[in-house]
Amino acid sequence: MEERKMPDTTVAFIGLGTMGRPMAERLLAAGHRLTVHDRLTGATAALAAAGAATAPSAREAASGAAVVITMLPNGPHVREALTGPDGALAAMRPGAVLVDMSTIDPSTSKEMAALAERHGVRMLDAPVSGSSAGAVEGTLTVMVGGDPGTLDELRPLLGELGRTVVHCGPNGAGVSVKLANQIIAGASMAAVAESYALAQRLGVDPRLLFDVVSASSGDCWALRTRPPVPGVLPTSPADDGFRPGFKGALMCKDLDLALATAADWSVDLPVTMHARDLYARMSEEGLGERDFSAVFALLSKQG
């Protein structure tokens, strides 16, 4: 079968939050013709100043674009942006590609892919991992579900956003892998926070703990990037008031998605449930907008 090529590099980017904005900025800097939309009009100002066109709706942003990228908080937001009264799908031309980089449930993602196909649009689900720092630096991991030929077309574009772009399987596979990743990330961060809470109570030097554990069997990404007390690692959110690279509220949302998906398939996830409850408590105590490593603040004040 003849390989299909994108007719141009006109990109619409919908959703300019903590992750979306730096990702859109990278595409603009790479020379793509970019139109952006966000429900919060102030979010588009920096992109407009850098040369992006802005659109008052997802539908207008998508009109004429070869590629439409969505980076939104949850499934209902994606559904509204694609199929609502001002949704993007109705405006997308046949043969265009929709890339949903949001973290949503696999069933909604597959449903959107089926709707896109009925509009003559190809869809990839392509959630990312790597936090806001990775979005700024273009070092994200991109987990892609969908047609491998379509992914091959878009690899140069996705390569502007991520250092690692992996084909995970058919539509829905990308978000499935992302939820599995979030289980590990969320649970390991909770374990790191618990270890530091205990060590703190026992009078252990937190930097010594980092040095020993990072060279031992407890070593993990959460420890390496987010030791949850100040003075251990200068780049840790703990050294910046827990300014979010990834919010606790979003980790709670992702673990909720994992639990709901697991329930649909009769899979028991007790560790995930405990971790989700901890991140839910973060929001209850006003910490949900901080980095998810701030879960340590819940644990360190107990007793």
The two tokens of residue 33 are: 């013709």
In words, the CATH class of domain 10-170 is alpha beta
Q: Specify the pLDDT at position 302.
A: 56
Residue 8: pLDDT over 90: no
Stated length of the chain: 303
Instruction: Give this prediction's pTM.
Output: 0.92
The two tokens of residue 51 are: 């040369």
Residue 7: pLDDT over 50: no
Q: In this predicted model, what pLDDT tens digit does every residue of 94-134 receive, in sequence order?
A: 999 999 999 999 999 999 999 999 999 999 999 999 989 99
Work out the average pLDDT over 87-97.
96
Q: What is the CB neighbour count within 10 angstroms for residue 277? A: 12
Please give the full DSSP string across 22-71, using - where no structure is assigned.
HHHHHHHHTT-EEEEE-SSGGGGHHHHHTT-EE-SSHHHHHTT-SEEEE-
**3-state SS assignment for residue 85:** coil
Q: What CA–CA distance (Å, rounded) separates 130 from 101?
A: 13
Q: What CA–CA distance (Å, rounded) separates 262 from 268?
A: 7
Taking the domains of the chain in order of start, what are their residue ranges?
10-170, 176-300
Is position 178 annotated as part of the catalytic site? Answer: yes
- 10 Å CB burial of residue 235 (0-12, 13-18, 19+) is exposed
Work out the average pLDDT over 6-33.
89
CA distance readout (Å), 275 to 82, 183, 197, 259 = 32, 9, 15, 11
Chain position carrying tokens 């408590």: 281
Q: What CA–CA distance (Å, rounded) separates 110 from 272?
A: 24
Exactly one of 178, 247, 253, 301 is catalytic; which is it? Answer: 178
Cα-based angle 247, 79, 72 (whole degrees, multiple of 5): 25
Q: Is the CB of residue 172 less than 8 Å from the CB of residue 147?
A: no
Instruction: Read off the DSSP letter of residue 125.
Output: E
**3-state SS assignment for residue 269:** coil
Residues 6+ apart with CB under 8 A from 285: 297, 298
Q: What CA–CA distance (Å, rounded) separates 121 from 96?
A: 5
Work out the average pLDDT over 128-153.
96
Cα-based angle 276, 281, 286 (whole degrees, multiple of 5): 130
Q: In this predicted model, what pLDDT tens digit does every residue of 231-265 receive, in sequence order?
A: 999 999 999 999 999 999 999 999 999 999 999 99
Largest Cα separation within the chain, whole Å, is 66
The two tokens of residue 126 are: 């392509």
In words, the CATH class of domain 176-300 is mainly alpha
Residue 3: pLDDT over 50: no
Report the amino acid identity of residue 129: S
For the chain, what is the mean pLDDT? 94
